[in-house]
Amino acid sequence: MTEVNWDDKWRLGFHLMPPTGWLNDPNGLCQFQGIYHVFFQYSPDDPNGGTKYWGHYTSQDMLNWQYVGIALSPEEVFESHGVYSGSALVKDGKMNLYYTGNVKLDGDYDYIYEGRQGNTILVDSEDGVTFGRKKCLMTNADYPSHLSCHIRDPKVVTGESIGIEDENCYMFLGARTREDTGEVLLYKSGNLTDWELVNILKDKIPFGYMWECPDAFMLDGKKFLSISPQGVQQDGINYQNVYQSGYYEVTGSFDQEYQLERFKEWDRGFDFYAPQTFQDENGRRILIGWIGMPDEPSQTNPTVAQGWQNALTVPREIFLKEGKVMQYPVAELEKLRLSRHTFVSGCTSERRKMYDAEITVVSEDIKIVISEGIELVYDKTHEILTLSFDQEKNLGYGRNKRSVHLQSCEQIRILVDTSCLEIYLNGGEEVFTTRFYTEDGMSDFCVTEGDAKVTYWEMEGLHIDLSAL
């Protein structure tokens, strides 16, 4: 395994990142026996990605974390080319992990329509750290015949959690058809191992060629289906990333007749994909996403030279407010705040590696500049908020501009962590996540136009035990 470079100026402080190597999708998110578990797609020896394992972090409070090590490795024939994404179901005193075992057959195949196996695997644990024998539950032969080889990312939930009044559990599987449209397969089971197809969820108008990383949950009695569709065409300022992540509100029933209402993106930044949610023991619905973007040719991450790439968002609580799905950093993160500072428009903060800024907008328009090369601008006339990088400064390494429609901009919260920004608008009505890279891993910010009241705190990092490396 590559050695950790503790002097790396871009190493993140309060975001979970790979100890070394490559990280992508969050997997198996849950709270089990009082402990938070975050698994993640992991290639420990290659910052550009490679054979996928599951890495594993645990915490009692989402502030003090322990890297437990590699939880799942591709050891069996039915997962020989990678332990792909999946989820956790806590039931009957056990943690049940469901995931996709990726297999690429030898031969001259395209690996889309022929030559690939996406096997659905189950492994369980009584302590959340040691795992039993892996069971292959379904292979491509068990899936509907109209599908390509791309079937993956099982999310398993109880019927009660998605508004189905029975004792079955339900599995959502992302899929790509042979006609190149995305959809989600819905299975049910009464024993966690034998699964029956009960429905196929899709948009009335084809929306992308593949639906990855499905998730389903309820907020205040409303049902939601989250997906990461690939192949969606840009529509003005919408769908600007190479792949998207968002959600539908679902009317009707997941297992019977249903309607998928308007798709909305989770995050409008450059670096957000494959989110997963879970409900903790306090009843909060918490979302964590991957700070990264696969197959994006226009932007890079210079941390590759330091032996690692990508990270996970801070845990975000998601909830409904006035009919809108909101997302906001969990309250625990405020315990990382240190010294408090206030200033008004025209003043510039001190340069810090990590800080948390809360900005109350007094004027209609506002412009915030970070490290003289990143602009956050709200234009009330057009009701557009834009995050943009000065291309000459090269803080974005290929990232340029992203925008969102916003009726008003009243509150802005910016989490800044050495080489990552998470920007929350109006208490989480819209969010932008992006990587950025200053020369020394430090930054400052200033409200250069408009009137605002600013409070910011220097932040300390998470306490992470990496002794298992």
Give tens-digit pLDDT for 148-202. 999 999 999 999 999 999 999 999 999 999 999 999 999 999 999 999 999 999 9
Residue 2: the pLDDT is 66
User: Do 436 and 374 meet the contact criterion of CB atoms below 8 Å apart?
Assistant: yes
CA-CA distance, 240 to 226, in Å (whole number)? 18
Measured CA distances, 389 to 63, 111, 266, 437 (Å) = 31, 37, 21, 11
Residue 5: the pLDDT is 83
Burial class (CB in 10 A: 0-12, 13-18, 19+), 278: buried
Give me the mean pLDDT over the 335-340 stretch: 98
pLDDT tens-digit map of 84-118 = 999 999 999 999 999 999 999 999 999 999 999 99
pLDDT tens-digit map of 67-88 = 999 999 999 999 999 999 999 9
Q: Which tokens sit at 358?
A: 């809360």
Residue 4: the pLDDT is 85
Nearest to 20 by CA among 39, 46, 40: 46
Residue 35: the pLDDT is 98
Amino acid at 237: I
Question: What integer best gives the mean pLDDT of the chain?
Answer: 97
pLDDT tens-digit map of 241-300 = 999 999 999 999 999 999 999 999 999 999 999 999 999 999 999 999 999 999 999 999
Reported confidence tier of residue 408, pLDDT bands at 50, 70, 90 = very high
- In the annotation, is 295 catalytic? no
Give me the mean pLDDT over the 437-448 stretch: 97
Q: Which tokens sit at 444?
A: 């400052």
Give me the mean pLDDT over the 197-213 stretch: 97
pLDDT tens-digit map of 343-364 = 989 999 999 999 999 999 999 9
Give me the mean pLDDT over the 214-219 stretch: 98
Work out the number of other CB atoms within 10 angstroms of the CB of residue 261: 14
How many Cα atoms occupy the beta-carbon half-sphere of 434 within 13 Å? 29
Residue 6: the pLDDT is 84
Measured CA distances, 406 to 223, 225, 305 (Å) = 24, 23, 38
Burial letters 405-429, b for 16+ CB under 10 A, else e: ebeebbbbbbbbbbbbbbbbbbebb
pTM: 0.98
Work out the number of other CB atoms within 10 angstroms of the CB of residue 6: 7
User: Do 406 and 422 meet the contact criterion of CB atoms below 8 Å apart?
Assistant: no
Residue 148: the pLDDT is 98
What is the greatest pairwise CA distance in the chain? Answer: 64
pLDDT value at 411 more than 70: yes
pLDDT tens-digit map of 28-59 = 999 999 999 999 999 999 999 999 999 999 99
7, 8, 25, 92: the active-site residue: 25
Residue 404: the pLDDT is 98
Percent of the chain with pLDDT over 70: 100
Q: Which residue has the tokens 């709200």?
A: 378
CA dihedral 216, 332, 336, 339 (to 10 degrees): 120
Residue 1: the pLDDT is 58
